[in-house]
């Protein structure tokens, strides 16, 4: 597996604000689509090729996990080659699992391939409990024996059969785990109340290439799998959250940015809010969008929702934007508890944000001012970088290893757009 160097825990960003973003930026492939598709290779018997894969910490950890299970992996220029034929192990490495929540997606394919799986309880961002109870409930409904002991989930199943299961709440990774398992079950299954995020659909489209049959009717998914599917070739969809982050950056800095390799239909909720607060988004065709500020920033009320509603992964970025809007704004977080940790850090830069429970109240200020701030999770990191772009003076963003989990070459792309930003290693 060939890679380039990412951050150490001591790395930080130095940002000198006041430079509008101008130019073109190519959006990377979606991390949240790449990971489940890479885990899907566990089910295959032949070589798999996945392209448009971003070079991120979570991706590398996923590939390391596949290697530890016995797969041969090669990663270069955003293209992953996986030979899964040598996978003999069904127990995952605890150190890798604890570093990222998405590693829970190894449960479905391992159980499907071996009839058993031993997977450490997952880690990731510090944004709330994010329990896996829906995953476990599904596996038990499917007929699996599930035990949790010594920090591991132990699953085993004697006979694979079709399943009729309804999720108690919409869960992206829960839906994906169920899909990954059912892709090896040759009887038809029905899942209800499934997640419809573009990343889920991309996983289904990848699995279709190995003979998995599926049909969506609203939030009802019929799926019929295939035992020992052959390999597949697939290109990952663009990252809608990275795109949304650069869109906010263009409007925030009063610049003009053309985004390349984007899918507008995945961004409709973000675009509506961006235009509501004073931005403009124009389609240029061929997967390109031009984004700029059209009017003075206006306040707004935002509630995060499951797709196709406003994404929880964009509320931190919009909080920065609304901090400079004239008037009072409200953001209500309905997906994750404890996801306003960036509010306190934005206040250190001069924002006026009050958090009560799952709601943030934002009073617009005229300016933000540079200071030293600390990242607490992936999207919080992005929001602090955005704030630094418009803050007067110099901003130091610490703990940026979170950024490397979800943004490919973020500071390089920002520099190419005119930002004064550099990464420093102590």
Question: Which residues have a catalytic role annotated?
Answer: 125
CA angle at residue 145 from 141 to 150, to 5 degrees? 125
3-state class (DSSP) for residue 361: strand
Longest dimension (CA), the chain: 64
Dihedral pair phi/psi, residue 310, rounded to 5° = -70, 130
HSE (CB half, 13 Å, CA atoms) of 4? 9
Q: Is the dihedral of CA 360, 263, 375, 323 positive or negative?
A: negative
Cα 6 from chain centre: 18
Closest CA to 361 of 311, 306, 299, 312: 299
Angle of the 57-69 helix axis to the 31-40 helix axis, nearest 10: 10
**Cα distances (angstroms) measured from residue 175 to each of 81, 97, 120, 182, 375:** 25, 19, 19, 11, 29
Q: Measure the CA–CA gap between 132 and 113, rounded to whole angstroms.
A: 21
Q: Which residue stretches of 23-132 are H helix?
A: 31-40, 57-69, 94-97, 107-114
Query: What is the full DSSP assignment across 76-107?
Result: ETTEEEEEGGG----B--HHHHTT-GGGGGGH
Closest CA to 120 of 143, 94, 96, 91: 94
Instruction: Spell out the residues 6+ positions from residue 220 whose beta carbon is closer than 8 angstroms to its own.
Output: 190, 191, 192, 194
């Amino acid at each position: 597996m060939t890679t380039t160097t990412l951050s150490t825990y001591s790395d930080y960003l130095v940002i000198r604000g006041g430079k509008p973003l101008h130019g073109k930026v190519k959006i990377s492939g979606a991390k949240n689509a790449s990971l489940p598709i890479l885990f899907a290779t566990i089910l295959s018997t032949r070589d798999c090729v996945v392209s448009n894969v971003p070079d991120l910490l979570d991706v590398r950890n996923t590939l390391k996990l596949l290697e530890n299970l016995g797969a041969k992996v090669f990663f270069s220029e955003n293209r992953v080659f996986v030979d899964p034929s040598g996978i003999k192990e069904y127990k995952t490495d605890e150190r890798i699992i604890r570093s990222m929540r998405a590693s829970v997606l190894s449960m479905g394919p391992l159980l499907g391939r071996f009839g058993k799986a031993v997977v450490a309880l997952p880690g990731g961002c510090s944004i709330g409990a994010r329990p896996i109870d829906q995953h476990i409930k599904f596996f038990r409904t499917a007929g699996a024996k599930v035990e949790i002991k010594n920090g591991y989930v132990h699953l085993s199943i004697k006979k694979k059969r079709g399943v009729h299961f309804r999720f108690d709440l919409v869960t992206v990774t829960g839906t994906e785990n169920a899909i990954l398992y059912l892709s090896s079950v040759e009887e038809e299954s029905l899942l209800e109340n499934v997640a419809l995020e573009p990343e889920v659909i991309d996983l289904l489209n990848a699995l279709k290439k190995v003979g998995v049959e599926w049909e969506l009717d609203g939030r009802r998914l019929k799926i019929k799998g295939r035992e020992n599917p052959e390999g597949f070739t697939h290109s990952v969809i663009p990252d809608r959250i990275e795109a949304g982050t650069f869109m906010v950056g263009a409007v925030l800095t009063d610049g003009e940015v053309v985004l390349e390799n984007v899918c507008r239909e995945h961004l409709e909720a973000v675009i509506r809010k961006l235009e509501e607060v004073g931005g403009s988004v124009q389609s240029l065709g061929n997967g390109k969008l031009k984004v700029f500020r059209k009017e003075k920033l206006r306040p707004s009320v935002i509630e995060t929702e499951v797709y196709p509603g406003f994404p929880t992964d964009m509320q931190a970025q919009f909080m920065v934007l609304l901090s400079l809007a004239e008037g009072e704004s409200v953001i209500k977080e309905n997906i994750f508890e404890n996801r306003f940790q960036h509010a306190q850090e934005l206040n250190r830069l001069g924002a006026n944000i009050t958090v009560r429970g799952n709601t943030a109240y934002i009073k617009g200020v005229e300016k933000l001012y540079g200071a030293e701030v600390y990242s607490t999770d992936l999207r919080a990191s992005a929001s602090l970088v955005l704030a630094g772009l418009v803050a007067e003076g110099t901003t130091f963003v610490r703990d940026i290893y979170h950024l490397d989990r979800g943004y490919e070459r973020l500071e390089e792309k920002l520099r190419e757009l005119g930002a004064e930003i550099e990464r420093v290693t102590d």
